[in-house]
Amino acid sequence: MCGIIGYIGNQNKKETIINGLRELEYRGYDSAGMAILQNDDLKVFRAVGKLTNLESTIINAKLHDEVFCGYGLAIGHTRWATHGSPTEINAHPHIGTQSALVHNGIIENYKELKQELESQGVVFSSQTDTEVIVHLFESYAKNYTAQEAFSKTIQRLIGSYAILLITKLEPNKIFYAKQHSPLMIGVCSKQHDEHKGGAIFFASSDAALIGLVDKVVYLQDGNCGEIDMYGFQNLHNIQPFYANKISAQKEGYRFFMEKEIYEQESILLETMMGRVSEDGIILDELDSDFFERFRSIAICACGTSHHSALVGKYLIERKARVRVTTHIASEFRYAKPVLEKDELFIAISQSGETADTLQALKLAKDEGLITLAICNVDNSAMVRLADYSLLTRAGIEKGVASTKAFATQVMVLWIFSVLLGIKRKRINEIGIKSEIKAMLNAQKATKVQAQIHDKIKRLSRRYLHGHGFFFIGRDIFYPLALEGALKLKEISYLHAEGYPSGEMKHGPIALADSELFTLALMPKNLLYNKNKSNVEEIIARDSTICAITPLDFDLADDVVKIPNYQSYMEEFFAMMVILQLLALEIAVRLNRDVDMPRNLAKSVTVE
């Protein structure tokens, strides 16, 4: 949640911070701000709404360019509001009399700290939890050095944080601290001389540093300190940083989400590379005794990742005959879950930083369970914490509505389920061959066909009104229905729900009328007739039906036909693409902000 950027150097600080924030804006865009400390002058700019508003605020201040050029420090922030509404006064940086601070995360004990500071006469201007940090620092700084004051401040904080602070008391240094919220420091070694310096960057995510740095340090929980232009070499765990800029651009697509839908075909090949071939299935990351170490599996995740967890349950139970329970991470944590020592705990997450899932993973680990993270981001908190990890290899996903991350999670779970089935002797040679064939074909099934996309563009105009959408399916097509409904509501703001087809008659069918749209997932290779009966029950109540199926189905108002595949997994991946495109095109027609839908953020690092 929120994005942080920091900079020490000679470049134009306004441009550097704005460019960095632009890469992070997808994480939160309720407000944005920056602070620049240069020649003993601390300037702060803040604005509600998107980054363009911050740019206008700075332009309206009519400052000379020299204010932003020459050696100095700068910090920036793009916010997704948690404590305090999205107003300018609540925007970061928060300021004291001579310091400014940006923060990601939540300070849980901020009320006590605020009371303490107010009793000393400190006046607060915002409703945020963050503001206490800068005042606490300045309060300590009355009696201690800036270093000591910062360290004492951090020791008082309970909660999660990535913090950058600049202060006139130490005008050459950025102070930083990290706990349960990502933060990294980077340097471009070609331009950086150990003695003469160059430029130091901070960011809360890789995306902001692409093309700027070639060495990074991913800060660890508990890291706290200060750095000047020359301090990078003294840090521990310096790593090369290879990411390139092109992968972070839209490449001619209208939206990142659209690009990411189209990318799925090639991305899934990446996911399978070295894991799936005509010769067999391998997961190098899991050693030979891994598969013997558990009797059952618990999978935990949020949102879209939870939908892939549900798909995983069907696949693992069917293919390996191992019992699987699935959990929504935010529920799991406080439900006093019964965890068995011989249970494998799988956390699924695109970002690897989602607070609810991360805390659930910690809980499972503390209970002594063997843990596996299925994750898209190497070096993320979950990957570092889990005993084992399987990377989904989706590349940077920028659209807030997850698409390729979901596809790759399902693929990894499928590979895992088959491998587990092989190890547990539930799948024979013929079975392995047919799974491999289906995997290779399923990847191809995600190729977006121009005529299908055109059809969905046309179809979308008929699905803009009504009082709601039901997405229905059976078996693995039920979590796909949940995912289709989530995509639609996230980016179009229309009301949509996913249901198992057979469950409609137990209540939800009461809503059926011609103004209710039902998206029916009707694969040929899995429970077609059962599904068809359920769909006919809804048709009899006059609901408008859009069927997605390879077969003719005259009773539907609209049919989006998929090819005649041989396996239900190919059908699954083909239908997934159709649901993603449908949500996209409906949102476009409604003129919604597809990549940055309201109220959402890409990575939810608060509880």
Catalytic residues: 2, 602
> Can you tell me the distance from the alpha carbon of 120 to that of 140, in angstroms, rounded to the nearest whole number?
12
Residue 51 CB, nearest distance to ligand M6R (Å)? 20
Would you tell me how many other CB atoms lie within 10 Å of the CB of residue 155?
9
Regarding 349 and contact with ligand M6R (CB under 6 A), the answer is: yes
Contact 330, 355 (CB under 8 A): no
Interface with ligand M6R in residues 300-339 (CB under 6 A): 302-305
From the list 122-130, 159-167, 297-305, 497-505, the region that binds ligand M6R by CB under 6 A is 297-305
Residue 260 CB, nearest distance to ligand M6R (Å)? 11
217 in helix, strand or coil? Answer: strand
Residue 597 CB, nearest distance to ligand M6R (Å)? 9
Contact 267, 394 (CB under 8 A): yes
> Can you tell me the distance from the alpha carbon of 58 to that of 34, in angstroms, rounded to the nearest whole number?
10
Residue 310 CB, nearest distance to ligand M6R (Å)? 13
> Can you tell me the distance from the alpha carbon of 456 to that of 364, in angstroms, rounded to the nearest whole number?
43
Angle between helices 303-320 and 477-492 (to 10 degrees): 170
Regarding 392 and contact with ligand M6R (CB under 6 A), the answer is: no
Would you tell me how many other CB atoms lie within 10 Å of the CB of residue 198?
18
- Nearest CA-CA partner of 370 in 302, 445, 297: 297
**Phi, then psi, of 285 in degrees rounded to 5:** -70, -20
Contact 95, 137 (CB under 8 A): no
* Position among 400, 419, 482, 539 found at the interface with ligand M6R (CB under 6 A): 400
Regarding 351 and contact with ligand M6R (CB under 6 A), the answer is: yes
Residue 216 CB, nearest distance to ligand M6R (Å)? 20
From the list 217-225, 248-256, 262-270, 398-406, the region that binds ligand M6R by CB under 6 A is 398-406
Residue 302 CB, nearest distance to ligand M6R (Å)? 4
* Position among 31, 38, 179, 357 found at the interface with ligand M6R (CB under 6 A): 357
Q: Which residues of 452-474 are buried (b: 16+ CB within 10 A; e: fewer)?
A: bbebbeebbeebeebebbbbbbb
From the list 12-20, 65-73, 344-352, 561-569, the region that binds ligand M6R by CB under 6 A is 344-352
Name the residue nearer to ligand M6R (CB basis): 567 or 603: 603
Upstream peptide bond of 86 is cis (omega within 30 degrees of 0)? no
- Nearest CA-CA partner of 593 in 401, 453, 404: 401
Residue 408 CB, nearest distance to ligand M6R (Å)? 11
Name the residue nearer to ligand M6R (CB basis): 243 or 511: 243
Upstream peptide bond of 93 is cis (omega within 30 degrees of 0)? yes
**Phi, then psi, of 545 in degrees rounded to 5:** -110, 130
Burial class (CB in 10 A: 0-12, 13-18, 19+), 308: buried
* Position among 350, 417, 460, 534 found at the interface with ligand M6R (CB under 6 A): 350
Regarding 160 and contact with ligand M6R (CB under 6 A), the answer is: no
From the list 315-323, 346-354, 419-427, 518-526, the region that binds ligand M6R by CB under 6 A is 346-354
Total binding residues toward ligand M6R, as defined by CB under 6 A: 16
Regarding 401 and contact with ligand M6R (CB under 6 A), the answer is: yes
Interface with ligand M6R in residues 570-589 (CB under 6 A): none
Name the residue nearer to ligand M6R (CB basis): 401 or 407: 401
Residue 255 CB, nearest distance to ligand M6R (Å)? 14
Residue 319's H or E segment, with its range, is helix 303-320
From the list 101-109, 149-157, 166-174, 397-405, the region that binds ligand M6R by CB under 6 A is 397-405
Residue 482 CB, nearest distance to ligand M6R (Å)? 11
- Which residues lie closer than 8 Å to 363 by C-beta, 6 or more apart? 332, 333, 337
Contact 571, 440 (CB under 8 A): no
> Can you tell me the distance from the alpha carbon of 17 to that of 33, in angstroms, rounded to the nearest whole number?
9
> Can you tell me the distance from the alpha carbon of 179 to that of 395, in angstroms, rounded to the nearest whole number?
25
Read off the amino acid at residue 501: S
Task: Retrieve residue 588's tokens.
Answer: 């476009």
Residue nearest to ligand M6R (CB): 303
Regarding 223 and contact with ligand M6R (CB under 6 A), the answer is: no
Residue 539 CB, nearest distance to ligand M6R (Å)? 30
From the list 40-48, 192-200, 345-353, 500-508, the region that binds ligand M6R by CB under 6 A is 345-353
Angle between helices 429-445 and 568-589 (to 10 degrees): 20
* Position among 402, 534, 544, 580 found at the interface with ligand M6R (CB under 6 A): 402
Interface with ligand M6R in residues 478-497 (CB under 6 A): 486, 490
Contact 481, 472 (CB under 8 A): yes
289: left (phi over 0), alpha (psi -120 to 50) or beta: alpha
Name the residue nearer to ligand M6R (CB basis): 401 or 521: 401
> Can you tell me the distance from the alpha carbon of 70 to that of 66, in angstroms, rounded to the nearest whole number?
7
Name the residue nearer to ligand M6R (CB basis): 101 or 583: 583
Regarding 354 and contact with ligand M6R (CB under 6 A), the answer is: yes
Name the residue nearer to ligand M6R (CB basis): 303 or 421: 303
Name the residue nearer to ligand M6R (CB basis): 1 or 509: 1
* Position among 7, 604, 605, 606 found at the interface with ligand M6R (CB under 6 A): 604
> Can you tell me the distance from the alpha carbon of 431 to that of 320, in angstroms, rounded to the nearest whole number?
12
Name the residue nearer to ligand M6R (CB basis): 126 or 354: 354
Residue 546 CB, nearest distance to ligand M6R (Å)? 21
DSSP code for 219 = P
Regarding 206 and contact with ligand M6R (CB under 6 A), the answer is: no
Task: Retrieve residue 598's tokens.
Answer: 């309201």
Regarding 16 and contact with ligand M6R (CB under 6 A), the answer is: no
Regarding 594 and contact with ligand M6R (CB under 6 A), the answer is: no
What is the contact surface with ligand M6R in residues (CB under 6 A)? 302-305, 349-351, 354, 357, 400-402, 486, 490, 603-604
